[in-house]
């Protein structure tokens, strides 16, 4: 039986709640890795927690700045030896992504760099508001090409685009956020799919899940996820 990779979004600044999430999501059927975003990383105790955390984790910072600043950001997490994934935003451009990937190799040889495409909270309407002339699928494919050229280890995109990305880039690691269990609310997400559709139908390598797992009873939610996938 395949062991699917699930990144659990620890979207909180409460260290005790993070400990609970990590404890209650542990199981033998899934490969669970905690994902920490801006809220936790910027919090007073978040950075300290990650310095001492003895398990692998994913740092979702979506770095997007000039190349020199982006490289410095990677250098600044040199002490976080168990950080095995980090995100950069394709909006930063090819040179920035190349610089980050190069610096990541020097800083931590376990660190994989994932390029973020169009956020799952956006859709064709919001893209037009920003000023883009391409639709979501067109823009994601364009960004995927840059991510591949940069040497990054994988791509972050909606599961709705994962299928077309897989068709063009067969070996690229694909991570999909915007995942909800059947019947759960979309909340602030726009392009949402179920875990089954993302992993099995659309061939994603891994998924990110937050509220569908961490809201209410975490252990029951994990069991719902297992029942849904298998």
Which residues are part of the catalytic machinery?
62
Per 3-state DSSP, the chain is made up of helix, strand and coil in percentages (nearest 5) of: 45, 20, 35
Q: Tokens 């719902």 belong to which residue?
A: 224
Do residues 114 and 152 make contact, with C-beta atoms less than 8 angstroms apart?
yes
In the numeric block, which tokens belong to residue 169? 């880039």
DSSP count for the chain of H helices, then E strands: 11, 8
Rounded distance between C-alpha atoms, residue 35 and residue 28, angstroms: 19
Q: Which residues pair with 5 in a beta bridge?
A: 31, 206
């Amino acid at each position: 039986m395949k062991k699917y990779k699930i990144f659990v979004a620890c979207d909180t600044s409460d260290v005790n709640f993070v400990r609970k999430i990590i404890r209650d999501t542990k199981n033998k059927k899934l490969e669970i890795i905690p994902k920490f975003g801006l809220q936790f990383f910027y919090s007073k105790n978040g950075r300290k927690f990650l310095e001492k955390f003895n398990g692998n984790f994913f740092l979702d910072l979506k770095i997007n700045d000039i190349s020199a600043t982006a490289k410095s950001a990677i250098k600044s997490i040199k002490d976080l030896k168990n950080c095995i994934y980090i995100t950069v935003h394709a909006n930063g451009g090819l040179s920035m992504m190349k610089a980050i990937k190069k610096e990541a190799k020097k800083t931590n040889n376990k660190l994989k760099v994932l390029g973020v495409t169009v956020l799952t909270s956006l859709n064709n309407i919001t893209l037009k508001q920003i000023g883009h002339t391409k639709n979501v699928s067109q823009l994601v494919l364009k960004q995927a090409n840059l991510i591949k050229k940069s040497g990054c280890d994988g791509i972050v995109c909606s599961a709705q685009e994962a299928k077309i990305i897989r068709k063009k880039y067969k070996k690229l690691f694909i991570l999909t956020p915007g995942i909800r269990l059947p019947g759960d609310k979309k909340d602030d997400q726009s392009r949402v799919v179920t875990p089954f559709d993302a992993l099995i139908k659309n061939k994603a390598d891994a998924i990110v899940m937050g509220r569908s797992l961490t809201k209410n009873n975490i252990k029951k939610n994990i069991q719902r996820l297992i029942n849904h996938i298998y």
